[in-house]
Amino acid sequence: MKVVLDPVHGYIELDEIVQELLATPQIQRLRRIMQLGFSNLVYPGANHNRFEHSLGTMHLATMLMKNLDSIEEDKKMEIRAAALLHDVGHGPFSHVTENIIDKYTRRRHDDVRDIVRKGEIKEALKKHGISPGNLAKHIKGETSLGQILSSEIDVDRMDYLVRDSHYTGVAFGVVDYNRLINQMHFYEDRLVIDYGGLKAAESLLVSRFWMNTSVYYHHVTRISEAMCSRAVEYMVENGELDPKRLRQMDDIDLVAAMRNSSGHGGELSKRLDARKLYKRALYTGLGEAGKGVLKYRDKIERAEKEIAELAGVDQECVLVDIPKTPEMLEMKAMIKTDHKIIPLKEASHFVSILQEAHMDNWRMGVYSPKEHCEAVGKAAKEYFNIKKATKQFKLSDLEKI
């Protein structure tokens, strides 16, 4: 048994299987994958990587399983391995390239079947009698034990919230994960939280709410990630980048490829290097935009083209960013009372209020070089029929979409 010192959790123990998996090039690649994409353009300390997050997730999974006596030792080893490998499918800059990789390869980051069934990872798993197929199912949350890694409230979320808070310096990421883990167990094949862990669960949702506002959906982060994503897609469409190769690259590989790109991809790369980012031509919530704007999520390229025409600028000067429908899956976590299990949002009046407040975090953006912002903003308002907010947008409005 070896130990490593983690700035968030302190000493983390590494057993034999973990040590062997850590030595594989697939896991070592995660040292060169930024956990928060381009958030370091906002928070200079946000330079942590997927490697340390994977270690932290494995550590918390180990802690949780110590409280679950019904799990056999071989299954505990399987879950530790799955926790360590749960992010091995991420592409460069984590979620920044996820949609592009999915578009061209039909692989999300949690679909690791092709990765764990070959090479050094396969050999390490085989040595310890672990089925790569079962491990891949755990990572996707398709098994009962997989809920530890992928469910409404899981060890993955616990680690990245406290870790991202630590490295950004944002004080909102306080989660009492020790209390939460001690109150979690399986009930009728469902991972639930005892009522005694309700306040700890609430703290996780509050952390997620404020981290969304301050970090994950910060406008500079959204703009820089949209610029990177557009540069990468340009390179793929122009044959400069193989999407299958993209999934195997790290941040260094992608930055080098972008810098060598011709045309629009290269120009966006230069802007990112110098932090000469596009600006907000339009930035508005659902109250002003209206629920109808969500239908444009599948028509982004067309919207950019038509807004550019209205504004009299090149299409390359317009980036439209429409996030997915606001949601907090954690609210569906199950709380066990004396007589039944109920969703967290029903067990906590505070959480039900937070659910509505979460809608205020959502923003759509139209970004453009500074010199074109006025024209693009005016054209975008006309295109999306943006008016001054007439009412507060409520969660129930989404049910009508």
pLDDT band at 354 (very low <50, low <70, confident <90, very high): confident
235 lies in some domain:
no
Supply the pLDDT for residue 173. 66
pLDDT in tens, 109-137: 999 999 999 999 999 999 999 999 999 99
pLDDT at 265 over 60: yes
Q: Is 10 helix (H, G, I), strand (E, B) or coil?
A: strand
One domain for residues 10 and 158: yes
Is residue 152 domain-shared with residue 284, that is, in the same domain?
no
Residue 254 maps to a domain: no
In a domain, 29, yes or no: yes
Question: Number of folded domains in the chain?
Answer: 2
Q: How confident is the model at residue 401 (pLDDT cuts 50, 70, 90)?
A: very low
User: Are residues 162 and 26 part of one domain?
Assistant: yes
Residue 341, in any domain of the structure: no
On whether both 44 and 162 belong to a single domain, the answer is yes
Average pLDDT over residues 47-59: 98
Domain of 68, CATH number, reads 1.10.3210.10
Regarding whether 292 and 161 lie in a shared domain, the answer is: no
d(CA 21, CA 123): 10
pLDDT confidence of 69, banded at 50, 70, 90? confident
Q: What are phi and psi of 241, to 5 degrees?
A: -150, 125
Q: Taking Cα atoms as reference points, which of 217, 230, 218, 229 lies closest to residue 317?
A: 230
Do 20 and 150 fall within a single domain? yes
Residues 393, 284: Cα–Cα separation, whole Å: 12
Q: Which of 144, 169, 194 is the last residue of a domain?
A: 169
Amino acid at 126: K
- Report the chain's mean pLDDT, rounded to a whole number: 93
User: What average pLDDT does range 16-38 have in this prediction?
Assistant: 98
Average pLDDT over residues 340-360: 84
pLDDT per residue over 366-386, tens digit each? 999 999 999 999 999 999 998
Can you tell me the mean pLDDT for 100-107?
A: 95
Could you say which of 169, 199, 234 is where a domain stops? 169
Residues 214 and 170: beta-carbon distance below 8 Å: yes
214-223 mean pLDDT: 95
DSSP 172-201: T----HHHHHHTEEEETTEEEEEGGGHHHH
Q: Is the pLDDT of residue 397 over 70?
A: no
Residue 310 to residues 306, 315, 378, 379, 383: CA-CA distances in angstroms? Answer: 6, 10, 9, 6, 8
Residues 220-246 pLDDT 10s: 999 999 999 999 999 999 999 999 999
How many C-beta atoms surround the C-beta of residue 129 within 10 A? 10
Chosen domain end from 169, 186, 215: 169
Give tens-digit pLDDT for 72-94: 999 999 999 999 999 999 999 99
CA distances 345 to 32, 44, 185, 205, 341, Å, are: 38, 35, 19, 10, 12
- Within-domain flag for 19: yes
The whole-number pLDDT of residue 118 equals 95
* 273-331 pLDDT, tens digit each: 999 999 999 999 988 888 899 999 999 999 999 999 999 999 999 999 999 887 778 88
- Mean pLDDT of all residues in 149-170: 95
Query: Are 144 and 285 in a shared domain?
Result: no
Q: With a cut of 90, say whether residue 394 has pLDDT above it.
A: no
With cut-offs at 50, 70 and 90, classify the pLDDT of residue 27.
very high
Answer with the residue of higher pLDDT: 338 or 139: 139
For the cut 80, the answer to whether the pLDDT of residue 355 exceeds it is no
Q: Examine residue 174 and state whether it is found in any structural domain, yes or no.
A: no
In a domain, 236, yes or no: no
| Structural domain contains residue 21 | yes
Higher-pLDDT residue of 287, 27: 27
Confidence bin at 186 (pLDDT 50/70/90): very high
Q: What single-letter amino acid sits at 382?
A: E
User: Which domain covers residue 139, as residue numbers?
Assistant: 2-169
In this prediction, residue 400 carries a pLDDT of 47
pLDDT (tens digit, 9 = 90+) per residue, 334-347? Answer: 999 987 899 998 99
pLDDT at 82: 98
